[in-house]
A and B are shown apart, each in its own frame.
Chain A
């Protein structure tokens, strides 16, 4: 549907062009210059549907159902890979962000518990891993996701990331109506920005498709070491840019990708580099939002 419905807005109506040069200078506490947030995505893949991603196509192509090998490949991340990633968060005492499908909390309660007991922020990530434009009832999907998180953590989630960053024309309105403070779908800036919606403002915290293992490993087919190299290059450039005011960097990973034994070390090495720099501070999405709001006025 290319027509914007009356309840939605065009992207340009939600946010006016505003170059980063010349903005009010943002300062992080303690002289830090780069706020880094790391988002771990936990999904449940429905074996009755087409898999969201694949590592292996069937002989002679096509997409026969069911797709057990790719279902199993993703499941490995939750059974084994996540627990490797968790060690890195523990070793560096990193605050975590769990972008979680609402249904994945019941499917993988041990993961939800591990994240919750460490004080990670839970971010709504759709009820299941499905393009928001294919979800039958988006309002209901957001409600179910919000409830699943609130029931488990005791707190309403403040942040939202669409599955595959997808939105409909009206997603921002619906998120504000459901009580959300920020989305991460708009990868258009290095600082938090505010989007207009017909229900009031909604912030966007800078997420990334660049330092994101889905894009890098599954679409662009880079070597595992490129995750580390790119994260370090990204960090060093943003750190340099931040002489004009504090900036935000996101790193995104999925247990079935970076949690594979042969990839994990490159995530750890990227974290080690950033953690070794006195300009960096690791934060949650909500903490970044609250800081930016106070600074931006």
Chain B
């Protein structure tokens, strides 16, 4: 086996205080707000991606109907709360989407497409990329399916659970991906090298993400709003000196629950009070950055 390409070698360490300025954001904004909705397919024949309720005595159950249903609720009900909110706000989020959603939940995918949401590749279905037999083929298949469904090839990618193997960036670059969200290591967009050409990293988030917060860390629903607004206020303050991007990542089976949706709605209402904040999707952030950094022609 050849030596793996380590993540740190793709963009050597740099301290944010030592960087050149970023280009100004569109319209003179000081801060960009990037909303990412994640849509997944949980195949009932395999262990569920997440669990809200482990089986009594902790046995692994197959099929795991209770947790499958819990996720399914998001597609049947929760996501429609998202659609309503974002239509009202006039915001078109990035949609991190398992390509199989286009077939298994065509109604949902078509609605997002027709609203102009940007598709971001998110594998074929929800399982760690390490366990996919032919990763390269899966990435191409996913990108091709989204291209045929949306009529345009996506330029972004997020690994399922942000997972990568050492050569995933090469496979992504080859498949036509321009930016990824898996490298949550900076506030700025950065450029990473791959043997198949460079990729831009955009600051996706595992901090303002309802999986770590609600499913792993078990926070109260209201804490979602508190943490997002703490993050927003801090970055807003810093954006006086350098453009900042805040990203939030949500899943319909978590944030689309009746008891949680109000905190998401309240966040957007509160953010609207701040001047100089522009809502951008991943493709728009990429275009803004690439226009100055000229990573891709």
Taking Cβ atoms with an 8 Å cutoff, the residues of A that contact B are: 47-48, 55-62, 64-66, 68-69, 71-73, 75-76, 78-80, 82-83, 107-108, 110-111, 221, 223-225, 260-265
Contact = CB atoms under 8 A, between A and B. Distances in A.
B277 to A, nearest CB: 15
22 contacts: A47-B7, A56-B162, A56-B212, A56-B216, A59-B126, A59-B127, A60-B127, A61-B47, A68-B164, A68-B182, A72-B182, A72-B185, A73-B185, A76-B184, A79-B16, A83-B15, A110-B13, A221-B219, A223-B223, A261-B238, A262-B228, A262-B231
A68 B7 contact: yes
Contacts of A79: 13-16, 185-186
Contacts of B46: 60
B218 A221 contact: yes
Nearest to A110: B15
Given A75-B185, A221-B219, A224-B227, A262 B162 contact: no
A263 B164 CA distance: 28
Which of A47, A60, A265 counts the most chain B CB atoms within 10 A? A60
Interface string B89-133: 000000000000000000000000000000000000011101100
Interface residues of B, number: 54
Contacts of B8: 47, 75, 107
B7 A60 contact: no
B151 interface: no
Interface string B182-201: 11111100000000000000
Given A58-B128, A66-B164, A68-B182, A223 B15 contact: no
A58 B126 CA distance: 10
Give the residue among B15, B126, B223 with the most A Cβ atoms within 10 A.
B15
A56 B183 contact: no
Given A108-B13, A223-B223, A262-B231, A66 B165 contact: yes
B45 to A, nearest CB: 12
Contact of B227 (A59, A60, A72, A262): A262
B2 interface: no
B92 to A, nearest CB: 25
Nearest to A67: B163
A223 B219 contact: yes
B161 interface: yes
Contact of B230 (A60, A66, A69, A262): A262
Interface stretch (B73-81, B135-143, B203-211, B282-290): B203-211
Contacts of A75: 7-8, 13, 185
B262 interface: no
A10 to B, nearest CB: 36
Contacts of A60: 46-49, 127-128
The 7 A-B pairs of least Cβ separation, nearest first, read: A69-B162, A64-B130, A59-B49, A262-B231, A261-B234, A262-B230, A72-B185
Contacts of A261: 230-231, 234-235, 238
A72 B208 CA distance: 15
Nearest to B222: A223
A64 B8 CA distance: 19
A55 B16 contact: no
Contacts of A69: 159, 161-164, 182, 184, 206
B16 A265 contact: no
B50 interface: yes
B207 A260 contact: yes
Given A60-B46, A68-B7, 20 more contacts: A59-B50, A60-B48, A60-B49, A61-B47, A64-B163, A69-B159, A72-B183, A72-B185, A75-B185, A76-B186, A78-B13, A80-B186, A107-B8, A110-B15, A110-B17, A110-B18, A221-B218, A224-B230, A261-B234, A265-B234
B240 interface: no
Contacts of A61: 47
B280 to A, nearest CB: 18
B11 to A, nearest CB: 10
Nearest to A217: B217
Contacts of A71: 7, 185
A262 B234 contact: yes
Contacts of B211: 56
A68 B184 CA distance: 9
A80 B209 CA distance: 19
A72 B18 CA distance: 19
B4 interface: yes
A56 B161 contact: yes
A72 B48 CA distance: 25
Contacts of B231: 260-262
A34 to B, nearest CB: 28
